[in-house]
Amino acid sequence: MLAKALPRPCSGAADGDALRRRAAAAPGSLGSVGLTTGGVKTRRGGGAGVKLVVAAARPRPTSVVPAAAAAARDRTEAVPAAPAPAPVDGKNVFNGSASAVPGINKLVTSTVGKSTNILWHECPIGQTERQKLLNQKGCVVWITGLSGSGKSTLACAVARELHSRGHLSYVLDGDNVRHGLNKDLGFKADDRAENIRRIGEVAKLFADAGLICIASLISPYRSDRSACRDLVPSSSFIEVFLNVPLEVCEARDPKGLYKLARAGKIKGFTGIDDPYEPPSDCEIVIQCRVEDCPSPKSMAEQVVSYLEANGFLQN
């Protein structure tokens, strides 16, 4: 009776053959043979009698492509490659690359500046549809002039007048944008150029959305303003020059900057030790003399009248 209760000792090759037969009968099972990892199979259970059986790796059978998958592949190969979109401003470099998207043989990507492998996605709702919804045409009203000339005041007056007439606008004020988007920029020449470039790009997006975007900032250099004009159709860029004499701006000095510049505490201040280049061919000039400056409301009406006369405001 005692002999029957004892576990059967390992019997060498005979037990090994039995394990191999069981493994061959149920490959990969989790029964008496156990887990399979690569080509090594381990038998579950502790104590004496646990064996490692190394099985030769079987070659993976050649996969058979179902008829439906083959037909789908044939249809994909039959679809012609999508035509390459036209370059934007002549700056894009297009490179065809193999696509894993069914039905498309190649995706056309572009390189713009430091951005590579980017793809422009068109939306079925475009500027025309948005403008119909708003009953107006998107444009950029770019107000330029010296510090203290009244750019921010005019921008808000124009926005108020448009709002009263039921038209949607948005003001991009130079100082306001520096509180967020452009807070990483200073007032050196390169930073000022980048500040204007970014605002120009944002204004372009607002105009594309169908809004009347009013940008008010010194923007002292013609080249920077021209670059922003080139971002939108020329007729949709309305440059407004607040032609206010330096002595009037300095007398106003709403932020006390002229005093600091005169004291040498601010370097590169426009109108003092940095030049301002007035527009040579702008759409609107608002003249202000020492003792004769129009009111913000009358200046705003002049801008809105231009927008109305040129078809940007619709009823």
- DSSP one-letter string for 240-304: EEEE--HHHHHHH-TTSHHHHHHTTSSSS-BTTTB-----SS-SEEEE-BTTB---HHHHHHHHH
Catalytic residue among 169, 216, 219, 236: 219
DSSP assigned state of 181: T
Task: State both tokens at 101.
Answer: 């998207």
Residue 206's identity, in one-letter code, is F
Chain Cα centroid distance, residue 127: 18
Chain Cα centroid distance, residue 183: 18
Ramachandran angles phi, psi of 155, nearest 5°? -60, -45
d(CA 70, CA 72): 5
Task: Specify whether the CB–CB gap between 303 and 310 falls below 8 A.
Answer: no
Any idea how long the chain is? 315
- Residues forming beta bridges with residue 166, ordered by sequence position: none
Could you give the angle at the alpha carbon of 181 between the alpha carbons of 276 and 255, nearest 5°? 45
d(CA 109, CA 121): 11
User: Is 219 a known active-site residue?
Assistant: yes
d(CA 228, CA 199): 8
DSSP assigned state of 313: B
Residue 294's identity, in one-letter code, is P
Residues labelled catalytic? 219
